[in-house]
Structure 1
């Protein structure tokens, strides 16, 4: 029996190291231990029983007591064994669940590791692509930098060339302006001589033609203008307009007056006024001019009596001519023309109001710059032809009334441009684009044969227009562009202005 116990113990110790290798081995070890216990306990029990049978009857009572105690001990041992086996089984279930969890965690860790490996591979690929893109961008940046340096060098050379050209153009323009000033002086002197001769002829031969050979004026040859005149055709055209007007230069700060008091000696205005006083004013009236087109009648100064010209100016204007037949029915002129833009409601205005001196009107270009023009002849209630001309070259302007040059000046908005896209109205002054009218500034009377040009008309064109011989070409606006009118403004068609109501 000892050998059996020893063998069992040896077996237990030999396999004890492998009992916890896996759940199945742990279960097998448990059953082996239980079997070893039974093999040890059963021979002992049988040996005790046989010794009790061989013993005499006297000492049996103690033997049975011992046997009961052994049975009780065996039951307790069974209970303990059962409890131990239950705890072992519960521990086995727990260990089995833990093993399953460890397996699931191992699988999850493997999946995470695979995902991390894949992500790392993708990141490496993206980094490789990014490195390649950075290298390409760096190479392109170097190329662009090289091109920018070349472009900067080219622009620097061009800017230097343009600066030189600007200096040359400025020098040529200065030379041209000097030549223009000299030419205007020559034209002024020729006009003075012509006015003096015109003043002497009626006195020497009143009403008869002078006998003898005709008097021919030999004009002084102007100085050579130089090569700059070939490069500025627009200035040359405006030079022609200035030379044909023969008007003296007037300082922009000096106010214009409507009187004919003689200024300094040699003035064209003084001699012309003296010749006119000897001959008498020319007999020019609207009865000799017909076919001027439609007539607009403004019956009162209501703010509803306004006419819009559409479209307005389509391009910037560096020169302007406004001509129209005008008849006023009030003691002040009112506003003939008003052009307003978003940034300035007085970009171009021929403006009069009841608080101004009778017969005067403000010629405004880009408020607050203006010139006061004398139009006293218009207050007689008759038809008169009015032309207001302006050019940005030297800021020259002229006022013609019935073909006669009434006022002129220079340095008025020199180099200025009248912008396009504004609102152009007749008969009212705008304090905002298309509105802000005031009855005290309204025009009361009639207009006919209105025309606006984007150039400076020459005196011959003004005379032809006033006599009805020819309407100058290139008009950008006429009364045919009158898009809308007030409720009381009348539009009539008369063969001649004198026949209009």
Structure 2
């Protein structure tokens, strides 16, 4: 409103001044400078009016801008209120969701505790089950060991029965002969006539060399005898052949000692040189959990020396029948996986005669047996129980390896002869050991024999003898 009044005032003033000037018009010569000034003043006023209008227009435009800014501020205020309301609603929603989440977390924690308790119970049950299975496995192993021992006992009993059968038959024949002699004697004493000649002397008790039955489980297991074929005892008993005439006597020739033949080549180790070595190749192709090593051995040395040595990169004493001059004469160390060993007594082998030796081991209960000339002379258990002899090593005869294939010591060398050496990956039963000791065929399943000897070093000699008694 104020701007409109100023505009009206500025327009009215020039009109009023112009009218006043016209009423007071004087002579032209006096009015001309005044009009000039008035025109200049009017021009200045017009310029001032233009400037004023321009300024007023700017003020009006600024007023419109401020009005727009106020409207914008109001709009922003409304929007901020809407945003604040939305934020409040979002916070309320989030708080509700957090409450639900906390409730769900508590439920989940309770469930997880229940699951943990169940898992602990299951773990305890599994542990108890594993212990139960372990006990069952141990019981099964014990049962298998008992069955193996029972099988050995049964085999020994069968051998004993096979040996006793001919004895019983011979005793029956002897009783029949005695009855016949008694009948002849009775007839001679009652019938008239000359006195008959003196009958042959009654047979006495059997000699110490004759077989004697052994009783008891321990005796059967400790001394398993071979299953020899039934022998004919008739030639040693009167009355078993044609009844002799009165006073007649007949001498029967003694039995010829048995001979061990067909045992294959003989290896002769003449001295304790470290060059005297025999390599068996290939060695063990697979791991061994059972082992039987049998051989004929003859030595006249003061100590036995090392019969066999098996070494790997990991351990140079995986399997050793180790002897040396510092041990008790005739004893060797049976080593499986150094440093575990058992000392075996082999004193009878130092007499310069042939003897049959079998060393047997199984990882089941760690049981082992030593047979010398068919007889069990040593046994034990808990020796390398559950152990496995690894494959891929070096197997030599006559020397003890301190490294794979070398580093021999003359104090541990074997001096003597070997024959019929064979190795099995199973346990030989006493009957099979007896068959070997009596010169019968090898039991099935050999994994190495002297036929696998690929290297004879030093002064080792190889001889072929038809029978051991004929070997040099």
Who is 2:139 aligned against? 175
Q: Distance in 2 between matches of 1:388 and 1:491?
A: 24
Which residue, out of 284, 295, 300, partners 2:271? 300
Q: Distance in 1 between matches of 2:151 and 2:461?
A: 45
Q: Distance in 1 between matches of 2:163 and 2:449?
A: 38
Who is 2:412 aligned against? 441
Which residue, out of 434, 459, 465, partners 2:430? 459
Q: Distance in 1 between matches of 2:359 and 2:171?
A: 36
How much has 1:374 moved relative to structure 2?
0.8
1:399 is the counterpart of 2:349: no
Q: 1:500 to 1:169 in 2, by over 3 A?
A: farther
Q: 1:162 to 1:350 in 2, by over 3 A?
A: farther
CA contact (8 A) 1:286 1:497 kept: no
Q: Distance in 1 between matches of 2:310 and 2:172?
A: 50
Who is 2:297 aligned against? 326
Which residue, out of 333, 336, 350, partners 1:365? 336
TM-score (norm 2): 0.53
Instruction: State the Cα deviation string for residues 105-137 of structure 1 (Å, max 9, x = none).
Output: xxxxxxxxxxxxxxxxxxxxxxxxxxxxxxxxx
Which has the higher mean CA deviation after the structures are superposed, 189-198 or 327-336?
189-198
Who is 1:423 aligned against? 394
1:492 is the counterpart of 2:442: no
1:374 is the counterpart of 2:345: yes
Q: 1:395 to 1:182 in 2, by over 3 A?
A: closer
After TM superposition, what 4+ stretches of structure 1 lie above 3 angstroms from structure 2? Answer: 159-169, 177-202, 207-212, 269-273, 284-287
- How many residues align? The count is 285
Equivalent residue runs for 1:66-465 within 5 Å: 169-180=133-144, 208-209=171-172, 268-269=218-219, 288-465=259-436
Instruction: State the Cα deviation string for residues 48-98 of structure 1 (Å, max 9, x = none).
Output: xxxxxxxxxxxxxxxxxxxxxxxxxxxxxxxxxxxxxxxxxxxxxxxxxxx
Q: Distance in 2 between matches of 1:327 and 1:471?
A: 20
Q: Distance in 2 between matches of 1:351 and 1:300?
A: 17
How much has 1:343 moved relative to structure 2?
1.4
Q: Distance in 1 between matches of 2:412 and 2:372?
A: 22
Q: Distance in 2 between matches of 1:380 and 1:387?
A: 18
How much has 1:485 moved relative to structure 2?
1.4
Q: Distance in 2 between matches of 1:425 and 1:196?
A: 37
How much has 1:342 moved relative to structure 2?
1.0
How much has 1:174 moved relative to structure 2?
2.4
Q: 1:463 to 1:165 in 2, by over 3 A?
A: farther
How much has 1:171 moved relative to structure 2?
3.7
CA contact (8 A) 2:286 2:391 kept: yes
Q: Distance in 2 between matches of 1:286 and 1:315?
A: 42
Matched position secondary structure for 2:320: strand
How much has 1:499 moved relative to structure 2?
1.2
How much has 1:423 moved relative to structure 2?
0.8
Instruction: State the Cα deviation string for residues 17-59 of structure 1 (Å, max 9, x = none).
Output: xxxxxxxxxxxxxxxxxxxxxxxxxxxxxxxxxxxxxxxxxxx
CA contact (8 A) 2:263 2:439 kept: yes
Who is 2:74 aligned against? none
Who is 1:468 aligned against? 439
Instruction: State the Cα deviation string for residues 443-465 of structure 1 (Å, max 9, x = none).
Output: 00001111011111111111112
CA contact (8 A) 2:298 2:349 kept: yes
Q: Distance in 1 between matches of 2:324 and 2:138?
A: 41
How much has 1:170 moved relative to structure 2?
2.5
CA contact (8 A) 2:332 2:344 kept: yes
Instruction: State the Cα deviation string for residues 239-259 of structure 1 (Å, max 9, x = none).
Output: xxxxxxxxxxxxxxxxxxxxx
Q: 1:289 to 1:163 in 2, by over 3 A?
A: farther
User: What is the root-mean-square deviation of aligned Cα atoms in Å?
Assistant: 4.1
Q: 1:288 to 1:333 in 2, by over 3 A?
A: same
Q: 1:302 to 1:186 in 2, by over 3 A?
A: closer
List alignment gaps of at least 5 residues for structure 1: 1-155, 213-264, 276-283
List alignment gaps of at least 5 residues for structure 2: 1-118, 176-214, 226-254
